[in-house]
Chains A and B, each alone.
Chain A
Amino acid sequence: MRWLAVRHFARHKLRTALALMSVALGVSTFVSMSALNRNTLAAYAETARARAGDADLVARGTLAGLDASLLDQLESVDGVRRAVPLVLRFCTARRSSEEPAERFVFLGVDPQRPPGAEQVTLEQLVEEIAAPWELLSTKHPVFVNAPWARRHQVKVGDSWEFDAPAGAIALPISGILRADSIPVAMGSAVAMSPLASAQELFGSGDRIDRILIRLEENQDKEALLARLQALVGDQAHLSDPLQEAREFDAVLGSVRLALRLLSLLSLLIAAFLVHSTISMALTERRRELAILRCVGMPARSVRTMLLREALLLGGVGGSLGVVLGFAVAGSMTDLFWNTIGTTFDRIDAVASPLHPADAIIGLLAGPLAAAMAALGPARRAAQRAPLQGLRLERTPPAPSRAARDRRVSVGLAILAIALVNIEALHFPRSGYLVFVISIAALVFGGYPWMRLAMSRTGPWFLRVMGPGGRLARDHLDRAHGNTSSTLVAVSLGFGMVFSTHVLVRSFESLLEHWFDRTIQEDLFVMGEGFLASGLQGTDFDLSLRDEFRAVDGVSHVHGLRFNRIPYRNERVLLFSLDAAAPEDSGQFLYVEGGPADKAAWAKGDGIFVSEGLAFLQGVHRGDSMELPTPGGIRELPILAVVQDYTWPRGVVLIDDDLYQDLYDDFRAHEFAITLNSSRSLDSVQADIERILGDRYHAFVLTQEQVQSSVFSVFHDYWSLLLAQETLAVLVAALGTFHTLLISVLLRRREIGLLRAVGAPRQVLRRMIQLEGALIGLGGGALGVLFGGAISAVTLRVLCLEEQGYRCPWEFSWWVVAAVLVGAAATGWLAAWLPSRTAEQTEVLSVIGEE
């Protein structure tokens, strides 16, 4: 009997191909997102491992670095094999002033205590090296990694300009390190120099940034970590290198969550299409199945046969989906890492996105979705009495009004519960629950809602759209089972589109408001792109601030410093700025407290914290925060809670004078300059650029440029979702196409009859296209409702539950109109081929069928 399935698929090649494509696309979206998500942690772990070398533990200091004396202290402990000092800085460099900058991890290593293998020969370490006399005469020899050198055609003896706090400095490339001899973080863009040289270049005196700790064999890592932490006290924070990966993973949680939810939606869309496909195929094959039953096939065998068919379809489609998914994941990886790398931290993409778990998930998802989808239709087909199958009208009877009302009530009730729960449920991850409930509401209530909306519209359709329009509407009204699945699939696809729009618009609006009120400085001096300069950019000497202040037309200069500090198992952002800045440099948006608190903040009596930090850490105005400083833990009162979205895990805003006192740090990542109206912006900008001159490779950007830079990164961020949306809409369109094609084949008699009574071909064409457009329009309308609900849930999850702030839900009516028109047009286009098939129906071949 298994050959029946194969023959059925072989006979209906186009439909089989469509069903396979639907499953493959759905599974591929799921697999690609799953692979991408899975690789996030792996990539961070890899990056953290690469930065840590082969260390078992890493000691990180406060912002002022670590005292070198800690090295001996740590090595004196039993179980510790080595303690390796490291200066680790992010910086930019370029071959010449005209060429674009490259971002580097700059490592300062102690030749006496090198990272990596303990016994290593020069040949094992270096691929190429400068001549000894050249090396001896070089003050700051720099070694670069071989893969990077090859990529940029860099040779020993070339000179590159590195951006250091004191300005740009030309350094000779003294050697090329073998690819496997040093960590390959940042896509192998690693520069290395002797420790003392790096300390001098980056102005860190005799302090170091990290200590990599290698333990003896068979040590209890956890216990030793506790002992070492107790030994060094507040001077250093010790952790497992993978802890850093986990911290970043938490930061990225919201992005991954959004991607995961959307990938689940894609799989759901595919499941609905499989359901629609199988359900319609069974309707079409009712005679074949009835004959099988007539000649003695038991109902159970019919059910098993149909389930096998579904499994075969799902299995093949799922396998194709896995292959496609990995291809998509591979192509999206660069975009993903570039976006994340610009926004949060430069990490290395995992080279191969292939992971057995993802393959297994994909291979199981296809057959599972297909089997679930086939269960109901197969059971119904098996239960149908043989003679009923032979006699059954092809167009199913409309469900009773009572049944329809019941489904509408259930659907609307679930939707209402979902919407109420968005605000009512406050336990963590309530968003997931509401997400599930919303989908259930759509599944149960979607199609009945459309039927309700279409009730009593028959005469209107006839009057306005003619007989073709009326028949299109009637068919939708009746073909509940099949159309319902397609409609839900279309709703999910366009729901994704609309929800993404709402998310983007809501975030954009929030950011715009925050920007307009808070960031009002006129010019910004930064080492690189706006967002990257904060955490990964070049350090400037704070003395530059005084030079800028002296420029005619400048009223105020902020020296901004961003640093991530550990706080209660999180890494929050410590943001230092001048609390005494005038009002026209920007005003805070207060959540707790008000402008009156600014005076105490400026005096250094306490700190401001962001709304997100307050929510995530459960702190309020009046509470205190314990901040790690070189002088030990300092408890500082929270003077106000303000809106600030600089860092997803929360921001501590500290006055720069207090910051310098506590951290002994006189560097800045950026300068924000406010002008008075005495001179034009252009002329002041020119003066600032003149001060920077050749000393610094820095950019002087206007507020508009900074703002557009932020929004450009923001849009890149969301473009990841666009890829998923495109796939989802494509799958939905395929589903509509498939449904209509089978619908046309099922209704050949009706179509032939219309031709027999004189319907022109164009009426038939229009009828099917209108059906497609109506499915699209109905799906689009439901998608707007569903997407609206889902976006509200997602906003809650992404903002409140993940980052601790509220983001107002906003949308545009233009986009609602665009979604509706787009959905209708998609349906219309999807109906093109089916409408041609309808148009070409031969009257006699179908009239004679009975």
Chain B
Amino acid sequence: MSPSPPLSAELRQVERCYQRGQEEVAALRTLDWKVAQGRWHAVRGPSGSGKSPLLHLLGGLDRPTRGQVLLARRHIPEDAGPRDPLIDLHAMDDEALARLRRTEVGFVFQSFHLLPTLNATENAALPLLLDGVRESDARQRAEHLLETVGLGHRRGHFPEELSGGERQRVATARALAPGPSLLLADEPTGNLDRVQGLEVLELFSRLMADHDMTIVMVTHDALAAERAEQVHELDDGRWLPR
């Protein structure tokens, strides 16, 4: 399984509004963004600035109220829609988006979100298993990735037996398992202490070098943002001028 080539994404006039009672609240306001391939992007901003909704839109977890979220065509399954260099995620049905998430996009969450009943290897292999990869192949790939993130010796351990940093590394291995071209990280160091946070950021740097992927990382942490190649500031659903 060789990693896929870097993925580019584009947001065109994207708006995301939520209904809160009678009131419509805008999380993202007419946002445009061209995500360069093979780069590490950090998105910073205060709470409620729209960082997480942005990430959810890029990962196909959510749909925009208005505008388009486009991913590079070559990474999208053949049956997803008409041929075009970029395809609108809105045109994809629910199952196609699910397939996209288990093949092309990797997620790393602030709260790790590991399954407590699966050990480290099984957690890391989960997207592959869901994609119908043979169990032995999935396990082999997961073990390799755990080695990569420095957890080869903890592969049989369950989440409750791991530290926060270790859990985040298992979550990263899981995100990398399908060989995604886009890694989306939502506050990956938010629940970690300083040392563990640095370890994870170091891991991301290594992955950038080894796997040639695009990383979009949402963070509060200025130190974490400094490790990224490009830092974007978001406030009240709009980009702040650089």
Where the two chains meet, the residues of A that have a C-beta atom closer than 8 Å to any C-beta of B are 393, 395, 397, 459, 462-463, 466-467, 470-471, 474-475, 477-478, 749-750, 753-761, 763, 843-844, 847-848, 850
Contacts and interface: CB of A to CB of B under 8 A. Distances in A.
Given A756-B107, A757-B174, A758-B102, A467 B61 contact: no
A759 B135 contact: no
Interface in B101-131: 101-103, 107, 109-111, 113, 115-118, 122, 126-127, 129-131
B62 interface: yes
A632 to B, nearest CB: 81
Contact of A462 (B56, B94, B103, B129): B129
Contact of A847 (B95, B109, B129, B130): B109
B115 A758 contact: no
A749 B129 contact: no
B137 interface: no
A763 B122 CA distance: 16
A759 B115 contact: no
B37 interface: no
B227 interface: no
Indicate the member of A749, A750, A753, A757 with the most B CB atoms within 10 Å: A757
Given A397-B160, A467-B129, A758-B130, A749 B113 contact: yes
Contacts of B129: 462, 466-467
B62 A844 contact: yes
Given A471-B115, A474-B117, A758 B127 contact: yes
25 contacts: A459-B135, A462-B122, A466-B129, A470-B122, A471-B117, A474-B115, A474-B117, A478-B116, A753-B115, A755-B98, A756-B61, A756-B113, A757-B101, A757-B102, A758-B99, A758-B100, A758-B102, A758-B103, A758-B131, A758-B178, A759-B102, A759-B130, A760-B99, A761-B98, A847-B61
Nearest to A752: B113
Interface of B: 52, 56, 59, 61-62, 94-95, 98-103, 107, 109-111, 113, 115-118, 122, 126-127, 129-131, 135, 160, 174, 178
B156 to A, nearest CB: 12
B160 A760 contact: no
Contacts of B99: 758, 760
Given A756-B113, A758-B100, A758-B127, 20 more contacts: A397-B160, A459-B135, A462-B122, A471-B118, A474-B115, A750-B115, A754-B126, A754-B130, A756-B59, A756-B107, A757-B174, A758-B99, A758-B103, A760-B130, A761-B95, A843-B61, A844-B62, A847-B61, A847-B109, A847-B113
A474 B135 CA distance: 17
Contacts of B116: 393, 395, 478
Contacts of A850: 110-111
Contact of A467 (B98, B103, B113, B126): B126
A395 B158 CA distance: 13
Contacts of A474: 115, 117-118
A462 B128 CA distance: 12
A759 B52 contact: no
A702 B62 CA distance: 77
A474 to B, nearest CB: 3
A836 to B, nearest CB: 15
Nearest to B102: A758
B117 A848 contact: no
B127 A393 contact: no
A826 B122 CA distance: 30
A761 B116 CA distance: 21
A18 to B, nearest CB: 26
A764 to B, nearest CB: 10
Nearest to B119: A458
Given A756-B101, A758-B100, A758-B102, A763 B111 contact: no
B109 A478 contact: no
Contact of B98 (A393, A459, A760): A760
A267 B102 CA distance: 48
B117 A477 contact: yes
B160 A757 contact: no
B119 to A, nearest CB: 9
B98 A758 contact: yes
Nearest to B62: A844
Given A474-B117, A843-B61, A761 B126 contact: no
Contacts of B110: 850
A478 B113 contact: no
Task: Report the 5 A-B pairs with minimum CB-CB distance, sorted nearest first.
Answer: A758-B102, A474-B117, A758-B101, A850-B111, A753-B113
Nearest to A477: B117
Contacts of A462: 122, 129, 135
A485 to B, nearest CB: 20
A34 B133 CA distance: 58
B172 to A, nearest CB: 13
Contacts of B127: 757-758
Nearest to A396: B116
A60 to B, nearest CB: 72
Contacts of A475: 117
B179 to A, nearest CB: 13
B187 to A, nearest CB: 11
A474 B122 CA distance: 12
Contacts of B98: 755, 758-761
B196 to A, nearest CB: 18
A847 B171 CA distance: 14
Contacts of A397: 160
Indicate the member of B52, B115, B122, B135 with the most A CB atoms within 10 Å: B115
B117 A395 contact: yes
Indicate the member of B99, B109, B126, B131 with the most A CB atoms within 10 Å: B126
A477 B103 CA distance: 30
B123 to A, nearest CB: 10
A263 to B, nearest CB: 39
Contacts of B130: 467, 754, 757-760, 763
Given A393-B116, A474-B118, A760 B109 contact: no
Given A757-B102, A758-B102, A761-B98, A478 B131 contact: no
B115 A848 contact: no
A479 to B, nearest CB: 10
Contacts of B117: 395, 471, 474-475, 477-478
B53 to A, nearest CB: 9
Contacts of A467: 126, 129-130
B159 to A, nearest CB: 9
A761 B94 contact: yes
Contacts of A478: 116-117
A463 B133 CA distance: 11
Contacts of B115: 471, 474, 750, 753-754
A671 B131 CA distance: 77
A714 B230 CA distance: 84
Contacts of A471: 115, 117-118
Indicate the member of A462, A475, A477 with the most B CB atoms within 10 Å: A462
B56 A844 contact: yes
Contacts of A459: 135
Nearest to A763: B130
A811 to B, nearest CB: 36
Given A471-B117, A757-B102, A844-B56, A463 B135 contact: yes
A516 B94 CA distance: 67
A760 B61 contact: no
A264 B43 CA distance: 64
Indicate the member of B62, B100, B122 with the most A CB atoms within 10 Å: B122
B58 to A, nearest CB: 13
A850 B111 CA distance: 7
Contacts of A760: 95, 98-99, 130
B139 to A, nearest CB: 9
Contacts of B111: 850
A11 B160 CA distance: 33
A761 B160 CA distance: 27
A843 B57 CA distance: 12
Indicate the member of B52, B61, B94 with the most A CB atoms within 10 Å: B61
